[in-house]
Amino acid sequence: MSVFQILAALFALFMIYWVRSNQKRNHLSKIEASLWYSIWSVFIILSIFPNLLIGITSTLHFARVFDLLVVVAFMIIATLNFYVYLKNKKIEQKLEELVRKITINKTHLKD
């Protein structure tokens, strides 16, 4: 086992701890926490046993397992980035609506 594999597994264990502490503070629902536990558990398994991906790598015609992991990571990051963008737009619209309501209420109070 390489130093990188150990560091990756320790990082994932830390992230599991962080998910647990946020779940205790009610910042994450049980479903969200379960999703994150699953993601970090798979991360630990793949960091300790990277040979599990060799079959998938050859089937998809990637030269190395690392190349497959980089492509998958970019896909996940792009998806999460788009999700955050949509959430941000939704919050922006709600905030704009709230500011309009407050402004209208203040205008009516002055009259």
> What is the model's pTM?
0.71
What per-residue confidence (pLDDT) applies to 50? Answer: 86
Average pLDDT over residues 11-40: 95
Biggest alpha carbon distance in the chain?
A: 74
Residue type, 22: N
What per-residue confidence (pLDDT) applies to 106? Answer: 86
pLDDT at residue 88 tops 80: yes
Contacts of 69 (CB under 8 A, 6+ apart): 46, 53
Q: What is the pLDDT of residues 32-74, one digit of tens each?
A: 999 999 999 999 999 999 888 898 999 999 999 889 989 999 9
Contacts of 15 (CB under 8 A, 6+ apart): 36, 40, 43
What per-residue confidence (pLDDT) applies to 101? Answer: 94
Phi and psi (nearest 5°) for 11?
Answer: -60, -45
Q: Which band of pLDDT confidence, cut at 50, 70 and 90, is reported for residue 111?
A: low
Helix%, strand%, coil% for the chain, nearest 5: 85, 0, 15
- Nearest Cα to Cα of residue 29 among 44, 15, 19: 19
What per-residue confidence (pLDDT) applies to 65? Answer: 87
- Nearest Cα to Cα of residue 32 among 47, 20, 41: 20
